[in-house]
Chain A
């Protein structure tokens, strides 16, 4: 099979599975439905592997080719095509392998759900959309994939469509993403207009010549064109990758069937924004302002969303907020031009976050759909496999040396430390304290779920059992990956892996400096045990241990002192309140006023019916003249005649 065919197979196999099961599911048995979709995604995974191999053979030389022309207007051509390089291929592997795991896990998790086949159709469609997004060679197709994953997330969040909370969450997710897409589309429009192309290669080639261009916002106010483009594109990424203030949809997306859709949202879909910025590195490198903006947005997300995770009691929500915080770390990495580190963290995060979500799912199954961690405890005895794998996932998440998260997160912190962007030292403090926060909430979750005395009836506790193999096997596989994925740091970050796909400007030498400090994996681990971050990590772990295991009365004692912060955190800074009670109501209110005042009173009342009644009024008056009395008519005639005569008399 040729390279082009391989790529097409990767994309089309999941689409085929989705369409067959989606449209003809009625005539398929359950096992046929999952076999077809799993085959589709499996083929995609194998094809991705072969693509990787082919690319490896050619030393990661980018492959760029078009599939068909979508539309052509004069010299402005819009197409569908693929750009395959190291960045793409990493994403292809992450997407297809996580997706395959999700498919297999779903067989067990959704076993009794009436929407079984529909679910498989959705997740295969998701795989297709995500692949279209990452493999695209132009902005049009990127936007297609971008919106298509939005559609699937809408469908998945609202999967249980009879639940009011689910159908509120899905419209919310879609609309918040659309706010981001508003920026994204304007960015695309600006690119199209300024470069007459939407093809990556052409746009990137033209970008350096635009550094002097200005965009007129108002007559007296101009911004550099590239800054506008990059920030507009990044607004799109803020929506998809759930950065503050467009983060509100992600925690709610947990309304979908857990933990599978949560996994899709948290481990794959939300990485689209991170991927996009890394893909656009040739553009972002040209705008200092945009990079600065990205760095701060990322830092705010990493720090403040981590804080919220500290007070959540729903097992899924803790993991969701943790995801937000980790996405913040990736964004910070993008901001300091450490694109490869962002992708590297994305890659390690995909494994350990997938592990944590599936472990949470395992706990939820065992607890008969109880999600409140206040009602758990002591589960380690009943669920040893889930316990051990969760421990591994937690260690990876908090960045314990030698686990995968350590390599990526520690590197990001170091990169921020080395960055010369203005304000980078504040951001450094934020990401560093983020380590403490992460360690605290992760251990809090871990201890409350698995340790201590069970906070449930003995009868319930005795019914908790380790989950079946369809659940535990993916856990074990992911746990192994969570341990070892980080060791790829040497070839991926400090080798030539991303050399052809990520472009970093001379002035942003963070990664070059990092390379100077890097003396192999072994040295990094050893250094990891004496780094500042490690002490903060230990501090977080100890505090959590102290508060939730050793002296469980501490949180209660501290409650009055921390009343105000916990009030704010429990309400998630009031964002939801502002958006739903504020913006959404305002929008509908504006609509009602426009409808009542504008349309009904002003236009219909005054203009339309007003004209009508005016015509009526005038004719009512005119009617009076037509009295029907002859003498009145005769009198009028005489008067008129006299007037005419006088007129002519004076004329002549």
Chain B
């Protein structure tokens, strides 16, 4: 395809956002339709991206233009299966968010939608930048619209949450910038693929690895740099939470795949114990923390952290495997990657469910609900489904990644597997206890009794996500097959040694 489809994917929503902001309040209700059309165009382009891609490990749809000549910085874009999958997830979730925001944002609707479109373009940019500097620019720029979304349309403690969010993530990415500049000073390139092939001594690798780690661990977020997430989620409007959980967290995992494993493979091998420990703590400890939450959004936020633990466990357990062939290492990477996609659907769906309740009751407090099933049976069915998916029920997407990572990590160490498998109990405990307290039981009070069940628009969104969750759970083979060559390439790079 000759069309620069990746650029189009990035710039259409950004230009649309600028247009909306310039037009200002004057656009009126039409702005919703405009945003909807833009995000639908994006979705169609995303589908075209898949259908036009071929099964190989190569970067496809490559575009390369000189950007800042004196520092060899290029506007270089390209996508392999990993990127394409995450881009499609991005445009899909953004479309749902635009639909979900249809009626529940009261003030500055046009700016709200503009922020989301801007965010969409920047996130797509992150997933397809081939130049580390370009990646960094998108990575940082992405913070701005999210900062605005939480800061302007957030809850009462939004200022604290935004500052915490901003400082945390900004603090993390500064280290990445330093690492990139250092790499440039020794290799004279910002191109990720060239950095992945450059020889780097081990001690330098370790520093670079740690710098990347700080940047991406904050994003994932991994324990112990996770505390910004629950605050950000609690204060963010529904759409913000959905994008945050479903896509922005994945950028951390994507960073590990693109930077840590290929650029600093020896350091990854040396420090994998650290990452594995952090992942297991996230899975077990954060699982218990989730159990104690009284706020629905906080509970789901903590559950997100625990589930992302499987992603990082899968990515970093590969160096400790003993099997003769690479099947189980691939299984671990596949598990981590599929967990990212699946978590995008499930956490997005759960935050949307909380949004549905919040729109009606203006409370996220678990104690303010009981017996919602009596007045909202259809909603209750969705909520039970997504809670079950969240606790990794086979036949839903939540099972696939967790199963793969648990099985694969058994090859490395029985205890990794056993600790990770605790999620089977704890994950089910917090998910189903939430359902028990909110959905089941007799009606708590009159306002719960007066709740209206989901309308057609909400039904459409939740149904779409439910179908995705089930489809991926029943037949993950196409996705697995699609990802296989690209993940194999990452694995090969990760298993190399670069100590010259």
Q: How far, in whole Å, are A174 and B374 apart by their CA atoms in the complex?
A: 22
Contact (Cβ within 8 A) B424 A182: yes
8 A Cβ contacts from A26-75 to B: 68-75
Q: How far, in whole Å, are A588 and B388 apart by their CA atoms in the complex?
A: 20
Q: How far, in whole Å, are A162 and B439 apart by their CA atoms in the complex?
A: 10
8 A Cβ contacts from A143-180 to B: 143-144, 146-148, 151, 154-155, 158, 161-162, 164, 167-168, 171, 174-175, 178-179
B241, CB-defined interface residue at 8 Å = no
B418, CB-defined interface residue at 8 Å = yes
B414, CB-defined interface residue at 8 Å = yes
Contacts of B424 in A (CB 8 A): 178, 181-182, 185
Contacts of B334 in A (CB 8 A): 71, 73
Stretch at the interface among A247-255, A473-481, A566-574, A601-609: A601-609
Q: How far, in whole Å, are A592 and B394 apart by their CA atoms in the complex?
A: 29
Q: How far, in whole Å, are A588 and B366 apart by their CA atoms in the complex?
A: 15
B63, CB-defined interface residue at 8 Å = no
Q: Please give me the residue from chain B that is nearest to A602 by CB atom.
A: B224
Contact (Cβ within 8 A) B371 A186: no
Contact partner of B289 (CB less than 8 A), chosen from A144, A168, A189, A599, is: A599
8 A Cβ contacts from A579-603 to B: 587-588, 590-592, 594-596, 598-599, 603
Contact (Cβ within 8 A) B227 A604: yes
Contact (Cβ within 8 A) A608 B292: no
B90, CB-defined interface residue at 8 Å = no
Contact (Cβ within 8 A) A193 B410: yes
Contact (Cβ within 8 A) B291 A588: yes
Contact (Cβ within 8 A) B475 A70: yes
B395, CB-defined interface residue at 8 Å = yes
Contact (Cβ within 8 A) A167 B227: no
Kindly provide the distance from the CB of A119 to the nearest chain B CB, expressed in whole angstroms: 14
Contact (Cβ within 8 A) A587 B291: yes
Q: How far, in whole Å, are A128 and B397 apart by their CA atoms in the complex?
A: 20
Contacts of A564 in B (CB 8 A): none
Contact (Cβ within 8 A) B410 A72: no
Contact (Cβ within 8 A) A175 B428: yes
Q: Please give me the residue from chain B that is nearest to A216 by CB atom.
A: B414
Contact (Cβ within 8 A) A76 B292: no
B72, CB-defined interface residue at 8 Å = no
Contact (Cβ within 8 A) B432 A591: no
Contact (Cβ within 8 A) B325 A75: yes
Q: Say yes or no: A608-B227 contact (C-beta < 8 A), given A70-B477, A72-B481, A189-B417.
A: yes
8 A Cβ contacts from B309-334 to A: 323, 325-328, 330-331, 334
Contact (Cβ within 8 A) B395 A144: yes
Q: Say yes or no: A147-B394 contact (C-beta < 8 A), given A162-B441, A215-B414.
A: yes
B429, CB-defined interface residue at 8 Å = yes
Q: How far, in whole Å, are A146 and B331 apart by their CA atoms in the complex?
A: 23
B440, CB-defined interface residue at 8 Å = yes
Contact (Cβ within 8 A) A179 B394: no
A310, CB-defined interface residue at 8 Å = no
A355, CB-defined interface residue at 8 Å = no
Q: Please give me the residue from chain A that is nearest to B164 by CB atom.
A: A608
8 A Cβ contacts from B449-500 to A: 475-477, 480-481, 484
1/0 per residue B357-378: CB within 8 Å of A?
0000000000000010110000
B58, CB-defined interface residue at 8 Å = no
Q: How far, in whole Å, are A221 and B330 apart by their CA atoms in the complex?
A: 29
B436, CB-defined interface residue at 8 Å = yes
A190, CB-defined interface residue at 8 Å = yes
Contact partner of B441 (CB less than 8 A), chosen from A73, A164, A216, A607, is: A164
Q: Please give me the residue from chain A that is nearest to B435 by CB atom.
A: A171
B19, CB-defined interface residue at 8 Å = no
Contacts of A164 in B (CB 8 A): 441-442
Contacts of B399 in A (CB 8 A): 147
Contacts of B193 in A (CB 8 A): none
Contact (Cβ within 8 A) A151 B477: no
Contacts of A158 in B (CB 8 A): 440
Contacts of A188 in B (CB 8 A): 407
Contact partner of B480 (CB less than 8 A), chosen from A73, A148, A587, A596, is: A73
Q: Say yes or no: A167-B406 contact (C-beta < 8 A), given A144-B395, A175-B432, A599-B227.
A: no
Q: Say yes or no: A598-B289 contact (C-beta < 8 A), given A186-B418, A192-B410.
A: yes
Q: Say yes or no: A607-B480 contact (C-beta < 8 A), given A590-B288, A599-B289.
A: no
Contact (Cβ within 8 A) B407 A193: yes
8 A Cβ contacts from B261-308 to A: 285, 288-293
A372, CB-defined interface residue at 8 Å = no
Q: How far, in whole Å, are A69 and B330 apart by their CA atoms in the complex?
A: 17
Kindly provide the distance from the CB of A173 to the nearest chain B CB, expressed in whole angstroms: 10
Contact (Cβ within 8 A) A76 B291: no
Contacts of B393 in A (CB 8 A): 147-148, 151
Contact partner of B394 (CB less than 8 A), chosen from A143, A161, A167, is: A143
Kindly provide the distance from the CB of A24 to the nearest chain B CB, expressed in whole angstroms: 13
Contacts of A146 in B (CB 8 A): 394
Q: Please give me the residue from chain B that is nearest to A79 by CB atom.
A: B477
A217, CB-defined interface residue at 8 Å = yes
Kindly provide the distance from the CB of A652 to the nearest chain B CB, expressed in whole angstroms: 33
Most chain B C-beta atoms within 10 Å of own C-beta, residue among A155, A186, A591:
A591
Contact partner of B421 (CB less than 8 A), chosen from A175, A185, A595, is: A185
Kindly provide the distance from the CB of B209 to the nearest chain A CB, expressed in whole angstroms: 21
A289, CB-defined interface residue at 8 Å = no
Contacts of B394 in A (CB 8 A): 140, 143-144, 146-148
Contacts of B164 in A (CB 8 A): 608
Q: Say yes or no: A71-B292 contact (C-beta < 8 A), given A148-B395, A587-B426.
A: no
Q: How far, in whole Å, are A619 and B472 apart by their CA atoms in the complex?
A: 53
B207, CB-defined interface residue at 8 Å = no
Contact (Cβ within 8 A) A75 B289: no
A196, CB-defined interface residue at 8 Å = yes
Contact (Cβ within 8 A) A71 B410: no
Q: How far, in whole Å, are A595 and B286 apart by their CA atoms in the complex?
A: 8
Contact (Cβ within 8 A) B288 A594: yes
Q: Say yes or no: A75-B288 contact (C-beta < 8 A), given A162-B442, A174-B428, A186-B410.
A: no
Contacts of A588 in B (CB 8 A): 291-292
Q: How far, in whole Å, are A84 and B418 apart by their CA atoms in the complex?
A: 32
Contacts of A171 in B (CB 8 A): 432-433, 436
Contact (Cβ within 8 A) A182 B421: yes
Q: Please give me the residue from chain A that is nearest to B331 by CB atom.
A: A73
B422, CB-defined interface residue at 8 Å = yes
Q: How far, in whole Å, are A70 and B395 apart by their CA atoms in the complex?
A: 11
Q: Say yes or no: A161-B406 contact (C-beta < 8 A), given A73-B334, A171-B432, A175-B432.
A: no
Most chain B C-beta atoms within 10 Å of own C-beta, residue among A69, A186, A189, A196:
A189
8 A Cβ contacts from A227-245 to B: none
Q: How far, in whole Å, are A181 and B164 apart by their CA atoms in the complex?
A: 39
Contact partner of A71 (CB less than 8 A), chosen from B290, B373, B441, B477, is: B477
1/0 per residue B394-413: CB within 8 Å of A?
11000110011011001100
Contact (Cβ within 8 A) A76 B327: yes
Contacts of B436 in A (CB 8 A): 167-168, 171
Q: How far, in whole Å, are A188 and B404 apart by their CA atoms in the complex?
A: 11
B68, CB-defined interface residue at 8 Å = no
Contacts of A168 in B (CB 8 A): 436
Contact (Cβ within 8 A) B428 A193: no
Q: How far, in whole Å, are A251 and B490 apart by their CA atoms in the complex?
A: 51
Most chain A C-beta atoms within 10 Å of own C-beta, residue among B388, B425, B426, B475:
B425
Contact (Cβ within 8 A) B288 A591: yes
Q: How far, in whole Å, are A167 and B371 apart by their CA atoms in the complex?
A: 11
Kindly provide the distance from the CB of B315 to the nearest chain A CB, expressed in whole angstroms: 15
1/0 per residue A463-500: CB within 8 Å of B?
00000000000000000000000000000000000000
Additional pairs, 8, CB under 8 Å, beyond known A70-B477, A71-B477, A186-B421: A70-B476, A76-B328, A154-B432, A181-B424, A182-B422, A192-B407, A599-B289, A607-B224
Q: 23 A-B contacts, Cβ less than 8 Å apart?
A: A70-B476, A71-B400, A73-B480, A73-B484, A74-B327, A147-B394, A148-B395, A161-B441, A162-B442, A167-B441, A175-B432, A178-B428, A181-B424, A185-B406, A186-B406, A186-B414, A190-B410, A193-B323, A592-B292, A594-B285, A594-B292, A595-B289, A603-B227
